[in-house]
């Protein structure tokens, strides 16, 4: 199963060509829960694929990262610019724009996610607001607040949310938003207990 949650990296009719980014958080969680429940290999594969199909991510970069082997930034961007849709390894995004407020950036990313996800009133999601490395929690929680406001406006409820450093690119400044659309099966996988070095739930 390949993760393809990055809505910016290819058109929706070419989802198989998309990158896997922070949505791996939910995809791996579902796959791990299925394995821990001792489901068959085919069932684990099916659930992981389903989780991928229900996961949508969009990111924004405000600065590059410096690769350890070169110690040089992997791309250049102005102090008043942002790159919408950039990959976690510095892959090009879909637009370079002047820096906006946190609410405006969140709205722009959510517009693209919601357009593709097309949620219905009454749907339930899990949310991940992820730092790309150096964006602090205070700024991430401002974005998380706006995500909640937007979802409330369209009648979509949040079952669970995570805010922090989960899928980073060294010291890159920026963030991503992931929505994971839940049904009964995926909610069960998400709620399944997990206790490992980097993540604990349930």
* Catalytic residue flag (residue 180): no
Sheet holding 124-131, edge to edge: 95-98, 81-84, 55-61, 174-182, 124-131, 157-164
Helix (H, G, I), strand (E, B) or coil at 3: coil
**Strand residues in the chain grouped as ranges (E):** 55-61, 81-84, 95-98, 124-131, 157-164, 174-182, 194-195, 200-201
Distance CA 113, CA 167 (A): 18
Distance CA 178, CA 128 (A): 5
Distance CA 7, CA 115 (A): 10
Distance CA 101, CA 111 (A): 15
Write out the two tokens for 105.
Answer: 């950036």
Catalytic residue (choose from 16, 54, 89, 159) = 89
Q: Quick one: the chain helix, strand, coil %, rounded to 5?
A: 35, 25, 40
Give catalytic residues, as residue numbers. 89
């Amino acid at each position: 199963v390949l993760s393809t949650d990055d809505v910016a990296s290819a058109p929706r009719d070419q989802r198989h060509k998309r990158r896997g980014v922070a949505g791996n958080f939910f995809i791996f969680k579902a796959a791990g829960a299925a394995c821990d429940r001792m489901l068959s290999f085919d069932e684990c594969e099916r659930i992981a694929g389903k989780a991928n199909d229900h996961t949508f991510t969009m990111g924004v970069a405000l600065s590059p990262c410096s690769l350890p082997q070169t110690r040089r930034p992997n791309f250049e961007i102005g102090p008043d610019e942002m790159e919408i849709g950039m990959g976690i390894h510095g892959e090009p995004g879909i637009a370079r724009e002047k820096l906006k407020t946190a609410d405006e950036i969140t709205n722009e990313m959510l517009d693209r996610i919601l357009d593709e996800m097309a949620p219905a009133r009454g749907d339930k999601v899990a949310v991940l607001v992820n730092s790309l490395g150096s964006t602090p929690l205070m700024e991430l929680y401002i974005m998380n607040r706006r995500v909640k406001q937007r979802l409330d406006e369209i009648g979509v409820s949040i079952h669970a949310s995570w805010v922090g450093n989960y899928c980073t690119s060294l010291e890159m400044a920026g963030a991503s938003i992931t929505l994971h659309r839940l049904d009964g099966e995926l909610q069960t996988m998400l709620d399944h207990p997990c206790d490992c070095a980097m993540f604990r739930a349930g």
